[in-house]
Amino acid sequence: MKKGLLFGGAFNPPTKAHIDCAKYAMDRSGYDHVVFVPSKEIYIRYDQKKDFVYSDEDRLAMLQCIRKNEPWMRVSDYEILCDHQPRTYETLCALKQQGETCALLFGSDKLQEFSTAWMYPRQIAEEFGIVCMSRNGLSTEEIIDHDPLLTSLRSYIEIVEIPDAYQNISSSMLRNMLKEDRFIEAQNLLHPSLIDQRHLLKENIWKTDY
């Protein structure tokens, strides 16, 4: 049976690092595909308090545009279509019911808050498994060693060291470049499929009612 990785997040907008790191982690951990699950706009805006949020439709469209050239990618609108922002465990269970059994993929920054800020961390690890992308200079092994819950779940966590070239790329960095008309620089952070979406990326970044 084919098994994938669930990669959730804002993808506001998706960067080259999101795509390349997910593919790298998938290949290193032996999974077949990655399911990208964008969060709801209202959650990103009011709970995560981002300075700007592309609409649900735009972020979904960007991921689907990239997917056309990346056959290992899948894109789910499950969270966007929910009447609330689902917790990760809820999303994993819902996708499983749809026949999509996934382990959870996230970065080591999320691992730091996994035992304190996440709901059902033990169930996520034990029922689905975790692939953690070690990045931004964080010692993933030390994070695990200093957290009793993570230590007890160590056998369910696979660590993938992400190449240095992707360590410091972020969506906020990309948004700032777009706001400042630095599109030549921004191209280095974009997946090639989105480079011809310049007008969508640029125009919509000014459409905010904050």
Tally of structural domains, the chain:
1
171 within domain boundaries: yes
pLDDT tens readout for residues 120-154:
999 999 999 999 999 766 689 999 999 999 999 99
Q: Give this prediction's pTM.
A: 0.93
User: Is 210 part of a structural domain of the chain?
Assistant: no
Q: Residue 209: inside a domain, yes or no?
A: no
Q: Which single residue is written with the structure tokens 């439709």?
A: 57
Domain of residue 37, residue span: 4-204
- Mean pLDDT lowest among 56-60, 91-95, 114-118, 203-207: 203-207
154 in a structural domain = yes
The answer to whether position 179 is within a domain reads: yes
The token pair at 20 is 């390349």
Determine what percent of the chain is predicted with pLDDT higher than 70. 93
Measured between alpha carbons, how far is 157 from 84 in angstroms, rounded to an integer? 28
Residue 117 placed within a domain: yes
Between CA 105 and CA 114 the distance in angstroms is 12
Nearest 5°: phi and psi at 101?
Answer: -85, 120
What's the CATH code of the domain at 49? 3.40.50.620
pLDDT tens-digit map of 14-52: 999 999 999 999 999 999 999 999 999 999 999 988 878
Report the SS3 class of residue 47. coil
Token digits of residue 56: 């649900």
Q: Please give the radius of gyration of the chain, using alpha carbons only, rounded to the nearest integer.
A: 17
What digits encode the pLDDT tens for the residues 162-207? Answer: 998 887 889 999 999 988 889 889 999 999 999 887 777 865 654 4
In a domain, 197, yes or no: yes
Domain membership flag for residue 19: yes
**Residue among 102, 82, 135 at smallest CA distance from 1:** 102
* Residues facing 160 on adjacent strands: 133
Q: What is the pLDDT of residues 154-166, one digit of tens each?
A: 999 999 999 988 8
